[in-house]
Amino acid sequence: MKFLLLALAVLGLIYMVLIGGKKTSVSDEQPEAIYQREIERAENLDDFLQDTVDRQGDEMDAVK
């Protein structure tokens, strides 16, 4: 189950980067600002997914 969630997280991250990259290419922002924003988005997504995996692991341990 954890591997499935991890795989979904990686696919979601790739999807967000590809879709987000297309949206930001029209912007007049500096490349450094765009890069930093994308890094923050990836870190926030990673934190959210890790919390979800931890929570589901705790729930599975409680069921045992």
Per-residue pLDDT 10s for the chain (64 aa) are 778 888 888 888 888 888 866 654 555 678 888 899 999 999 999 999 999 999 998 888 888 7
> In this predicted structure, what is the pLDDT of residue 26?
53
Nearest one of 43, 60, 49, 57 to 5, comparing CA atoms: 49
> In this predicted structure, what is the pLDDT of residue 46?
92
> Model pTM?
0.46
The structural domains of the chain, with segments of one domain joined by +, span 30-64
